[in-house]
């Protein structure tokens, strides 16, 4: 479908061509469409719909009030509170939580008059001003953005957050009145393990079994069995599994962001492809929202100018996140897999505002001191090398650049 585009000799022209119709590019398209209604924006997506198969959630305090306003059409679920549960800590926080579904994402983007969408057609190759499709069509645009998802690189040292979630309908009401961001009061297997719960209606809930693990293998059958056991232990009888989603998200332990960007030269990247995600949670929505605003505010919408703006944003954000990579090293390297939960259990004893700033990736120096103060929840002889950027067992040296 190419409504609103100029098509000649298999060549389509647009003002902005977005390769990949996932979260980052979709939000860029939406924000540009609002701020610059004169532009012809084209999204090309390999899948049949935009946004794949996700429930994207975020904390109310991850984005500004203005950003809430422009994102409002995408929001499907809203809660005013959230809770966490650990073996030695239960806590309820008065921080709102929001969710977007892929279905709504697709629907909203397709409703914008100046956004055109081509789905079911993979991008074969791209450059700063052309996208070549596998069906031989070409798209020419002064601004091309590559949002085709995670790009593996030797310049990033990673751990993994992997999960499988089932949106289920229960026989009877579940009794939850707020999302459970982490229920880690469960057997700790395969790394830091917790269940994440989003109560959509009285009887419908997303149950997600999540692991902070050293490897990226996902045993989906084992996770389905564990979700069934978890539901049973809570006295929930599953009547129907409505849908399923899974993910393996990168968590950064160290790396060299300048080298990462030097390697990536085809066109300005966005989202995971630009290494723009929260180092500890692997979540990318807050950055995707900020980048959409950043691009929409640029005076020149040409690839060469946007790549400069994106590179500066990504490198600055990487450096400001150094502390989070240190926390990850403590989590992955200092703590035994079965004891990793203690790092988060202790963290959740801190002030609600500090926790909110943590998820937004905006902790202050004072917050960082508070997070590290006191007796560490991991053995001190293993924590100290992590602070200095060394693995306690002398492996995996970190390549952090100052």
Ligand X SMILES: Cc1cc2nc3c(=O)[nH]c(=O)nc-3n(C[C@H](O)[C@H](O)[C@H](O)COP(=O)(O)OP(=O)(O)OC[C@H]3O[C@@H](n4cnc5c(N)ncnc54)[C@H](O)[C@@H]3O)c2cc1C
Q: Which secondary structure element, helix H or strand E, spans residue 126, and what is its range? A: strand 123-126
Min. distance of Cβ 132 from ligand X in angstroms?
A: 10
Residue (of 158, 93, 86, 163) closest to 340 by Cα position: 86
CA angle 76, 200, 45 (to 5 degrees): 45
Choice between 149 and 385, CB closer to ligand X: 149
Q: What is the dihedral of CA 49, 51, 54, 59, to 10 degrees?
A: -150
400 binds ligand X (CB under 6 A): no
Residue (of 209, 162, 199) closest to 179 by Cα position: 199
x/- map, 96-125, ligand X, by CB under 6 A: --------------------------xx--
Beta strand pairing call for 11-13 and 6-8? antiparallel
Residue from 12, 14, 23, 231 binding ligand X (CB under 6 A): 23
The span of 19-27, 79-87, 302-310, 355-363 binding ligand X (CB under 6 A) equals 19-27
Residue from 73, 132, 247, 389 binding ligand X (CB under 6 A): 247
Min. distance of Cβ 340 from ligand X in angstroms?
A: 20
271 binds ligand X (CB under 6 A): yes
Q: Kindly write down the DSSP assignment for every residue of 142-176, as one continuous string.
A: SEEEE--S----TTEEEEEEEEEEEEEEESS----
Residue (of 58, 29, 84, 64) closest to 278 by Cα position: 58
The span of 5-13, 81-89, 229-237, 269-277 binding ligand X (CB under 6 A) equals 269-277
Query: CB 175: neighbour CB atoms within 10 A?
Result: 11
> Within 374-393, which residues bind ligand X (CB under 6 A)?
none
Min. distance of Cβ 366 from ligand X in angstroms?
A: 26
148 binds ligand X (CB under 6 A): yes
Closest residue to ligand X using C-beta atoms: 22
Residue (of 248, 251, 249, 255) closest to 159 by Cα position: 251
44 binds ligand X (CB under 6 A): yes
46 binds ligand X (CB under 6 A): yes
Residue from 12, 32, 52, 377 binding ligand X (CB under 6 A): 52
Alpha-carbon separation of residue 165 from 27, 194, 201 (angstroms): 24, 12, 16
Sheet with 75-79: strands ordered across: 55-59, 97-101, 75-79
Residue with tokens 């602070």: 387
Residue (of 125, 199, 181) closest to 344 by Cα position: 181
42 binds ligand X (CB under 6 A): no
Contact 1, 116 (CB under 8 A): yes
> Within 272-291, which residues bind ligand X (CB under 6 A)?
272-273, 282-285
157 binds ligand X (CB under 6 A): no
20 binds ligand X (CB under 6 A): yes
Residue from 15, 129, 245, 305 binding ligand X (CB under 6 A): 245
147 binds ligand X (CB under 6 A): yes
Min. distance of Cβ 227 from ligand X in angstroms?
A: 14
Ramachandran assignment for 110, one of left (phi > 0), alpha (psi -120 to 50 degrees), beta (any other): alpha
Q: What is the dihedral of CA 217, 157, 318, 61, to 10 degrees?
A: 30
Residue from 5, 13, 15, 54 binding ligand X (CB under 6 A): 54
166 binds ligand X (CB under 6 A): no
58 binds ligand X (CB under 6 A): yes
Residue from 28, 32, 39, 56 binding ligand X (CB under 6 A): 56
Choice between 63 and 186, CB closer to ligand X: 63
Residue from 12, 16, 18, 21 binding ligand X (CB under 6 A): 21
Tokens at 220, concatenated? 């989906």
> Within 201-240, which residues bind ligand X (CB under 6 A)?
none
- Chain residues binding ligand X by CB under 6 A are 19-25, 44-47, 52, 54, 56-58, 122-123, 147-149, 245, 247, 249, 271-273, 282-285
């Amino acid at each position: 479908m190419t409504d609103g585009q100029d098509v000649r000799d298999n060549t389509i022209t647009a003002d902005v061509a977005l390769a990949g119709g996932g979260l980052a590019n979709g939000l860029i398209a939406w924000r540009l469409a609002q701020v610059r209604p004169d532009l012809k924006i084209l999204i090309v997506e390999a899948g049949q719909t935009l946004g794949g198969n996700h429930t994207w959630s975020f904390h109310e305090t991850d984005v500004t009030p203005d950003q809430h306003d422009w994102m409002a059409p995408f929001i499907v679920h809203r809660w005013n509170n959230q809770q966490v549960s650990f073996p030695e800590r239960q806590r309820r926080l008065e921080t709102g939580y929001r969710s977007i579904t892929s279905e709504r994402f697709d629907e909203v983007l397709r409703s914008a008059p100046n956004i055109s969408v081509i789905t079911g057609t993979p991008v074969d190759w791209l450059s700063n001003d052309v996208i070549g499709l596998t069906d031989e069509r070409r798209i020419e645009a002064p601004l091309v953005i590559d949002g085709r998802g995670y790009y593996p690189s030797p310049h990033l040292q990673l751990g993994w957050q992997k999960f499988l979630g089932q949106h289920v309908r229960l026989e009877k009401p579940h009794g939850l009145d707020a999302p459970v961001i982490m229920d880690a009061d469960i057997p700790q297997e395969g790394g830091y393990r917790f269940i994440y719960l989003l109560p959509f209606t009285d009887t419908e809930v997303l149950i997600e079994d999540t692991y902070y693990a050293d490897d990226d293998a996902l045993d989906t059958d084992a996770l389905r069995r564990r979700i069934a056991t978890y539901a049973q232990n809570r006295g929930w009888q599953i009547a129907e599994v409505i849908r399923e989603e899974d993910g393996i998200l990168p968590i950064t332990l160290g790396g060299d962001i300048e080298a990462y960007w030097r390697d990536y030269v085809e066109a300005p990247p966005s989202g995971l492809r630009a290494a723009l995600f929260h180092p500890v949670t692997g979540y990318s929505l807050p950055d995707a929202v900020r980048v959409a605003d950043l691009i929409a505010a640029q005076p020149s919408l040409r690839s060469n100018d946007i790549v400069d703006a994106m590179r500066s944003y990504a490198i600055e954000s990487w450096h400001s996140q150094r502390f989070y990579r240190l926390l990850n090293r403590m989590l992955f390297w200092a703590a035994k897999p079965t004891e990793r939960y203690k790092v988060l259990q202790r963290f959740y004893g801190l002030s609600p505002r500090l926790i909110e700033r943590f998820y937004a990736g905006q902790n202050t120096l004072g917050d960082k001191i508070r997070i590290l103060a006191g007796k560490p929840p991991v053995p001190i002889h293993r924590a100290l090398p992590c602070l200095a950027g060394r693995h306690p067992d002398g492996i995996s040296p970190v390549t952090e650049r100052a």
